[in-house]
Every structure is written in structure tokens, then in C-alpha cells.
């Protein structure tokens, strides 16, 4: 299957230039040869406008373009960037028929559908600048023999830090106090009656992969009761270090938590996972932090539970879809602390994922393997977290 | 000096009932005798109004009254609570002439001036429900032979947690994103151009007492460069545990910090300490968190530095005065993340300081010593942090 597109479309030269064809001896010559070819690379990033000039390290923006333009063009490659990604009239769509590499990000996601993949006859490589490639139809990409890779680890610290901030903001009931300040008010009671310490509370993470583990490590000194649910137990060393207890049964964990943090990728299994029934299994007034993906939640179920008080506070930076339309109900629900999708695109994160994309492009041109943990689709197979 | 009021005012019976007269053998008989007397106790707390009934543990409010009314009245004491604290016509002022014990809090501070102390002929004991007794004229209290005590440790965790939340909110540039959400907007660039990871940044605390140390412990897993300035070095064990480096020279530390956290009490030495000159010694764009006391800052200097960009973000819950008037300039300065004074009055903190006040009243009635660390003024002397 991995070779399907390569086999059916000679002009795409998949087998001669895709890193996914590596791993067998003798192929390096063909790939080194491939490196001399000029490639058309398209990047879809959020536009910075007046903010572009305010920070020289703002490489994650359209204007920053990952800081790789000179490097790419000096090697004879074509590099087009755009933020216009939706529909058949978009700038992105114009380049779909002849691009070789498409770079996208979760923050301003270009949805790479099966139809787009079919139209992208020259496409070989889909790179995600950041983490989370669910905006790509991964099964279609696999069926077409494409390689999909992300910069695994590039912004896990960024996201974990942001989660801890959101936990604290909900537990401490920050926003009502802030609103008082900007509205000229002062009413300590209206904040304090539902402000708590994090200490002593039960915090559970649904998923304890790279981000979940970093969160648990950062929660450790807060003296909470830490729980985690995942497909597999963590190494005993890490369990000991964080003091987190494994909960094999998700529902059982949810019923114990004062705070639930979602740290699982969006897959066919997790899509809509937190629906009315699941939320009803949580403690009354539970606080939920979700920086994973908006579509893991049933949108209306979250709104209803925030309105009824079943959810005491909801914070995250992920929405379905993105950008969230003006009338997205999460903008208007009570006790939310939402932002646009930013937690993984700090300046520090941008510099790391820009470096990671450059490294993978360099390897692609040279016909070298990517770091193993970066592959999301390789040789027709999805990475284990997406299965 | 400790005995001045006792010696000059026989009716106050200071020497027979104040815990500050303890520590010498043979006095316990007199104090046990004193316990049979009926005392007039006044508490000044913030009013909860409609929030009073929403949480049975909301003991820090006027209505909650620290949960000690039944206990006090069953022993024959009179217990009056009010939130009306300002001026000669206030409810508090009516009771000043004959109260024995005044309980105040930093969150809704009754300013205990030299004049009030002079009018309070029966006053023996000033208890702070929480930490920070700078709303009391401590020198006047000492001169009058009063005992001042707070519930040391009762909410240090609460405040330290809140500080870490504020650090993260400023570093991650949370509030502009939140404003976008509630205003129907979506502009990742306008947030991301100045959003950073906390990891790798230099964080310095001015003061490493109980709260500063708890903050350093919680910062440890974030992999920052941690610095602290204090009168004295921490124990080597704690330095090793937190990885924080001692900075003897404050100005030298300030010039290195991306983030400065104020963790020093308000004293005559720290009042107005962060003025224009001090702030100019910090890095351009420094982030400042101050949950200590508003009067440690020069109010206008903070406004000017936020406007010029010298301060990149300012967050805290303390103001001068409190409640902050509607026209307090900190409500309107750019890049602030302010709240009313709440960080130490979480429900958890309230339960602890209510228990601590009850314990001290019990000891006072029984003529027993308070926990040593609770004394702010004892036998005419100020605690070391206020010298």
C-alpha cells in the first residue's frame, strides 16, 4: 500500500524521493539523485499582518515562513506560502495539482481531505509544523502512498505549561476577578466562594503521552492526587517520579477527578468521545482542560454541561472547526477560559518546529530517514497513536 | 514597652489576659482566671451577599464569620462582625471604644491606625485572618502594648499557586487570546508574537520566605533559571532542592530576570521600593507578578512602565488602597492581569485561617501562648520581617 501511489504514478517519483521508501540498502543513490530535483513546496500558516515585524523570531507566521525561504530557494526549490486555505478558489487549491510538499500547522489548519489528496498528483510529503496531523485524512494519505510527518516533541513543553496555567485559572476562579477589575468593580466574595487551592485536588489526565507526562511532572510539587488513563502503563520509574496512579478504566477515573485534562490525539476512536453520557460520569462541577483537539468533545454537550453546572469550568485552545466561527457556542458558554489555538505556537515552540521542518526537508532532499518518532504515516501505515 | 498599655490602663487587664505576657512561669493562674471573663470580639470581613449561601465552606465572608459564632457565644463572649470599616461613622468605629479583640483580614482591610488604637481603650489583641498585618500601625500597636498575630502559613500555598498561575498567564500571553474569544475574533498571530514558554526563562523572587520558597519548589520542574534575593540565604538543602541561586545584590538580580515576583512583606523599607529607578534597572519587557502588597510599588511608575513597554506585563491581586477605587490607574494600564485581593482567600485558605484564628482565641481565653511564628507584635517588639 505504501507504494501504491509511487507504483501508479511514475511522474511522482515517490519511490525515488520519499523518505518513506528508505530503510532498504542500495536506495541512497537514487535518493541522492533525487535531491538535485527542484521541488515545489507550499506552506500554509496564519498571517501576522502588523504583528509580523514586532518579533524577529516570529517564524511560525506566514510572513516568517519558518525562516527557510532563502535556504530553500538557494537550492533551486520553489517555496510558496499562503494563509488562504479554504475551498476550491483558495490560493492553496491553485497549487494542489503540482506541489510536491505541503507544510501545514494545527493552528491554522489546511484540511487535507481525500479529494485534495486525489487532486495533488505530485504530492509526496505532508509535513505538520507542530504536533497533531488530524487535519489530514491520514487513511487517504496512507492509501495514496504519501508520507506524513510532524515535529514530534517540538511544542510538548509549550502545551503542557499552558495546560497547567489553565488548570490553575479554573481552580482559582481567575477570570471573574479580572472582569471585575476591568469593569471598575471590587467584590472578593463573588470570586472567593468558588476559588480553591490546587493542592489536595484530584487531577486526571486522559492520555499520558509526551504532553501528559510533562504535565504530571509539573503538577508533582502541587501535592495533588494524580491519576492517568492510557492504553499502556507508564514506566515504573516515571510513575514513581510523578506519583501518578494508572487507571485502566476511564469511567472509573473520571468519577474521581476534580480536574480532567484531555491529552489524547484526535482519532476515529476519540472523536466525540466526551459526549453527554461521558460528561455525566464526572463529578458535579468538574473542571476540564482540553488543549488536545476540539472534536474530542461533543460541542453541544459541553455547552449544556457548562450551563447546568455539571462542568464547573472549561478551558482550552482547540475548537472544531478552526478558526472558530463568530457564533461558535463555546465563545458564549458560562465559566469558560478559552483562547484561539495558540498553546503550541509560542515563539520558543515556533523556533523548534521550524528547525524540525527544515531538518526533515533537508533529509527529504538528501533521501535520508526522518527521526522515527516524527512519522505519522509511513509506507502506508499509520503511527500507533492514530490506530 | 510591651507592658506600657497594661501598666497605664488597669481596666484593660492586659497583663492578665494577653498572651504576650506569657513566657514567664507563674502567670498561668492569672490567665486561666482571665478566661472566665466575657470578651467583646469584632471581626471585619468582606460581605458575600448572594454568594454566602452558595458554598457551606465560605467561612471567610462576613456571613461565614469564620464559623466561630456558636463557639464564641457558648462561652459567653460577644461577637460582632461587619464589613463597614472606613471612617468615624462606620460600624467598626462604634465598637472601637470597648472591643477586646479585633479580627481583620488583608482582603478587606480595616486600617488600624494610631488614632484608632488610642481610642480602643479595651483592645488587647489584633488577629489577622490570613497573612500580612501591614494594615495595622504595628509601631503604634507595639507602643500600646498590644499583641498582633496572624495565621502564619495558613494561605502560603494558596498565594504561591496563584503566583505561578500569573507567571504563566503573562509568559503565555493568555488574556489577549481570551479577549478575542469573547469578542468573536480569531487572530493567532496577535497572541503568538509575544507568547513564550516559561522553560528556560530567568525567574527571580524578591523575598524567599514561606511563599517564595513554595513558589520556587513549584517552579522547579519548569526548567527555569531560578534566582532569589533575601536578607539571608536559604538552607543549602532547599537551595539544592529548588536549584535557586542566591543573589545578594537586588539590582544585580533584577537586571537578569525575565520575570520578577515580589514576595516581601510591606514594611517601612519596602514601601514604594519599586519606583521608576528600580523598574528601569530591570530588563526591557520584564514581567512582574506581585501578590505581596500594592504599596511596595510606586503606583504611577508601574503605569508608566507598562505604557512604555519597560514592563511587558503586570499581574497581581494587591492594590493600594483596597478596595481599589474605580479610577485606580492599574485597572486601565496595558498588559495587566489584575484581580481584586483574593489569592489568599481560597475556600481551602479560609478553612485554614478560620481554624488558626479559633485556635488563637482559644489560647487567648486560656492564657496560653500562640504558635511562635504567628506573632507579629509581641511584648512591644515587631517580628523580624517587619523590622
Q: Does B60 touch chain A (CB under 8 A)?
A: yes
Residue A177 is nearest to which of B221, B340, B348, comparing CB atoms?
A: B340
CA distance A273 to B162: 32
> Are B161 and A197 a contacting pair at CB < 8 A?
yes
Nearest chain A residue to B328 by CA: give it.
A184
Q: Which helix (H) or strand (E) holds B351?
A: helix B347-366
Residue B230's contacts (CB-CB under 8 Å, 6 or more residues apart) are B207, B208, B209, B212, B246
Is the distance from CB of A339 to CB of B177 less than 8 angstroms? Answer: yes
Whether pLDDT at B362 is above 80: yes
Whether pLDDT at A302 is above 60: yes
pLDDT band at B14 (very low <50, low <70, confident <90, very high): very low
Residue ranges for the known binding site of B for NAD(+) are 210-211, 230, 265-269, 291, 317, 341-344
- Distances in Å between the alpha carbon of B279 and those of A79, B213, B247, B251, B290? 45, 23, 17, 10, 13
pLDDT at A51: 97
Whether the CA torsion A77, A82, A85, A90 is positive or negative: it is negative
Contacts of B338 in chain A (CB under 8 A): 178, 181
Q: Active-site positions of B?
A: 155, 293, 322, 341
Whether pLDDT at A63 is above 80: yes
pLDDT tens track for B140-160: 999 999 999 999 999 999 999
Residue B198 is nearest to which of A161, A181, A331, comparing CB atoms?
A: A161
> Are B346 and A158 a contacting pair at CB < 8 A?
no
Residue A46 is nearest to which of B174, B188, B324, comparing CB atoms?
A: B188
Whether pLDDT at A93 is above 50: yes
- Distances in Å between the alpha carbon of B376 and those of A32, A51, B96, B371? 76, 50, 21, 11
First to last CA, chain A: 16
Half-sphere exposure of A319 (CA within 13 A, CB side): 25
Instruction: Output the CA angle A124-A62-A114, nearest 5 degrees.
Output: 35
Separation in Å, CA of A178 to nearest CA in chain B: 5
Q: Does A228 touch chain B (CB under 8 A)?
A: no
pLDDT band at B30 (very low <50, low <70, confident <90, very high): very low
> How many C-beta atoms lie closer than 10 Å to residue A140's C-beta?
17
The CATH class that applies to domain A40-152+346-386 reads alpha beta
CA distance A140 to A101: 16
Q: Report the pLDDT averaged over residues B197-212.
A: 97
Contacts of B326 in chain A (CB under 8 A): 184
pLDDT band at A36 (very low <50, low <70, confident <90, very high): low
Q: Report the pLDDT averaged over residues B221-229.
A: 98
Contacts of A54 in chain B (CB under 8 A): 193-194
pLDDT at A3: 34
Q: Which DSSP string corresponds to A75-90?
A: TT-EEEEES--SSTTS
Q: Report the pLDDT averaged over residues B173-177.
A: 98
pLDDT tens track for B92-141: 999 999 999 999 999 999 999 999 999 999 999 999 999 999 999 999 99
> Are A340 and B177 a contacting pair at CB < 8 A?
yes
Residue B342 is nearest to which of A54, A177, A326, comparing CB atoms?
A: A177
Percentage of chain A beyond pLDDT 90 is 89
Residue A43 is assigned to a ligand binding site = no
pLDDT band at B36 (very low <50, low <70, confident <90, very high): low
> How many C-beta atoms lie closer than 10 Å to residue B113's C-beta?
13
pLDDT tens track for B309-357: 999 999 999 999 999 999 999 999 999 999 999 999 999 999 999 999 9
> Are A161 and B180 a contacting pair at CB < 8 A?
no
Residue B177 is nearest to which of A157, A331, A339, comparing CB atoms?
A: A339
> Are A192 and B326 a contacting pair at CB < 8 A?
no
CA distance B256 to B110: 38
Half-sphere exposure of B359 (CA within 13 A, CB side): 17
Percentage of chain A beyond pLDDT 70 is 91
pLDDT tens track for B55-90: 999 999 999 999 999 999 999 999 999 999 999 999
> How many C-beta atoms lie closer than 10 Å to residue B278's C-beta?
18
Three-state DSSP class for residue B203: strand
Whether pLDDT at A328 is above 50: yes
The CATH class that applies to domain A156-338 reads alpha beta
Q: Which helix (H) or strand (E) holds A313?
A: strand A311-316
pLDDT at A10: 30
pLDDT at B133: 94
Separation in Å, CA of A26 to nearest CA in chain B: 43
Q: A18 versus A244: which is more confidently predicted?
A: A244
Residue located via cell numbers 488543549: A291
Three-state DSSP class for residue A364: helix
Residue A172 is nearest to which of B161, B196, B336, comparing CB atoms?
A: B161
Q: Which helix (H) or strand (E) holds B366?
A: helix B347-366
CA distance B326 to B312: 23
pLDDT at B384: 86
Is the distance from CB of B131 to CB of B155 less than 8 angstroms? Answer: yes
Contacts of A238 in chain B (CB under 8 A): none
Whether the CA torsion B317, B323, B327, B329 is positive or negative: it is negative
Q: Report the pLDDT averaged over residues B251-279.
A: 97
Q: Report the pLDDT averaged over residues B267-290.
A: 97
pLDDT at B15: 31
Residue located via cell numbers 501535592: A223
Separation in Å, CA of B322 to nearest CA in chain A: 9
> Are B342 and A49 a contacting pair at CB < 8 A?
no
- Domains of chain A, by residue range, sit at 40-152+346-386, 156-338
pLDDT tens track for A184-195: 999 999 999 999
- DSSP H helical ranges for chain A: 4-8, 14-17, 28-34, 69-74, 91-95, 114-119, 138-143, 156-172, 174-182, 188-192, 210-219, 236-242, 250-254, 276-280, 299-308, 347-366
Whether pLDDT at B367 is above 80: yes
Same CATH topology for A40-152+346-386 and A156-338: the answer is yes
Q: Write down the ipTM of this complex.
A: 0.89
Q: Would you state the cell numbers that stand for residue B96, as one nine-digit string?
A: 472601637
Q: Tell me the backbone φ, ψ of residue B281, rounded to 5 degrees.
A: -80, -10
pLDDT tens track for B287-307: 999 999 999 999 999 999 999
Q: Report the pLDDT averaged over residues A59-87.
A: 97
Is the distance from CB of A100 to CB of A40 less than 8 angstroms? Answer: yes
Q: Does B202 touch chain A (CB under 8 A)?
A: no
- Distances in Å between the alpha carbon of B156 and those of B105, B213, B352? 15, 10, 11
Residue in A277, A268, A276, A335 with CA at minimum distance from that of residue A295? A268
CA distance A223 to A218: 11
Residues forming beta bridges with residue A43, ordered by sequence position: A81, A103
DSSP state of B253: H
pLDDT at A20: 36
> Are B221 and A217 a contacting pair at CB < 8 A?
yes
pLDDT band at A6 (very low <50, low <70, confident <90, very high): very low
Q: Does B340 touch chain A (CB under 8 A)?
A: yes
Q: What does pLDDT average to over chain B? A: 91
Residues of A numbered 289-328 whose beta carbons fall under 8 angstroms of chain B's beta carbons: which are they? 317, 322-324, 326
Q: Report the pLDDT averaged over residues A139-155.
A: 97
Residues of B numbered 69-108 whose beta carbons fall under 8 angstroms of chain A's beta carbons: which are they? 107-108
Q: Active-site positions of A?
A: 155, 293, 322, 341
> How many C-beta atoms lie closer than 10 Å to residue A204's C-beta?
26
What's the gap between Cα B344 and its chain centre? 7
Residues of B numbered 137-156 whose beta carbons fall under 8 angstroms of chain A's beta carbons: which are they? none
pLDDT at B149: 98
Residues forming beta bridges with residue B382, ordered by sequence position: B377
Amino acid at each position: 500500500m505504501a507504494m501504491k501511489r509511487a507504483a501508479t504514478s511514475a511522474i511522482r517519483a515517490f519511490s525515488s524521493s520519499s523518505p518513506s521508501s528508505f530503510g532498504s540498502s542500495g536506495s541512497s543513490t537514487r535518493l541522492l539523485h533525487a535531491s538535485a530535483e527542484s521541488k515545489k513546496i507550499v506552506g500554509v500558516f496564519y498571517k501576522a499582518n502588523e504583528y509580523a515585524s514586532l518579533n524577529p523570531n516570529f517564524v511560525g507566521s506566514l510572513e516568517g515562513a519558518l525562516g527557510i525561504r532563502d535556504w530553500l530557494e538557494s537550492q533551486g526549490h520553489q517555496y510558496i506560502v499562503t494563509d488562504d486555505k479554504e475551498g476550491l478558489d483558495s490560493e492553496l487549491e491553485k497549487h494542489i495539482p503540482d506541489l510536491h510538499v505541503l507544510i501545514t500547522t494545527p493552528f491554522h489548519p489546511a484540511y487535507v481531505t481525500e479529494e485534495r489528496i486525489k487532486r495533488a498528483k505530485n504530492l509526496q510529503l505532508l509535513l505538520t509544523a507542530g504536533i497533531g496531523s488530524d487535519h489530514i485524512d491520514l487513511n487517504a494519505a496512507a492509501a495514496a502512498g504519501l508520507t506524513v510527518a510532524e515535529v514530534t516533541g517540538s511544542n510538548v513543553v509549550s502545551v503542557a505549561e499552558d495546560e497547567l496555567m489553565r488548570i490553575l485559572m479554573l481552580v482559582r476562579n481567575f477570570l471573574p476577578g479580572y472582569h471585575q477589575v476591568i469593569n471598575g468593580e471590587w467584590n472578593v466574595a463573588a470570586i472567593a466562594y468558588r476559588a480553591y487551592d490546587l493542592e489536595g485536588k484530584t487531577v486526571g489526565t486522559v492520555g499520558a503521552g509526551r504532553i501528559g507526562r510533562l504535565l504530571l511532572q509539573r503538577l508533582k510539587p502541587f501535592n495533588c492526587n494524580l491519576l492517568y488513563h492510557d492504553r499502556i502503563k507508564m514506566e515504573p520509574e516515571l510513575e514513581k517520579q510523578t506519583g501518578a496512579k494508572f487507571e485502566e478504566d476511564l469511567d472509573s477515573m473520571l468519577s474521581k477527578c476534580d480536574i480532567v485534562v484531555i491529552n489524547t490525539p484526535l482519532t476515529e476512536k476519540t472523536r466525540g468521545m466526551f459526549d453527554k453520557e461521558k460528561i455525566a460520569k464526572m463529578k458535579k462541577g468538574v473542571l476540564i482542560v482540553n488543549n488536545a483537539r476540539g472534536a474530542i468533545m461533543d460541542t453541544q454537550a459541553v455547552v449544556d454541561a457548562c450551563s447546568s453546572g455539571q462542568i464547573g469550568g472549561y478551558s482550552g485552545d482547540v475548537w472544531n472547526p478552526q478558526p472558530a466561527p463568530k457564533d461558535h457556542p463555546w465563545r458564549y458558554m458560562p465559566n469558560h477560559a478559552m483562547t484561539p489555538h495558540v498553546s503550541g505556537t509560542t515563539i520558543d515552540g515556533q523556533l523548534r518546529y521550524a528547525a524540525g521542518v527544515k531538518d526533515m526537508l533537508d533529509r527529504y532532499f538528501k533521501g535520508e530517514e526522518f527521526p522515527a518518532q516524527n512519522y505519522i504515516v509511513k509506507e502506508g501505515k499509520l503511527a500507533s497513536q492514530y490506530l
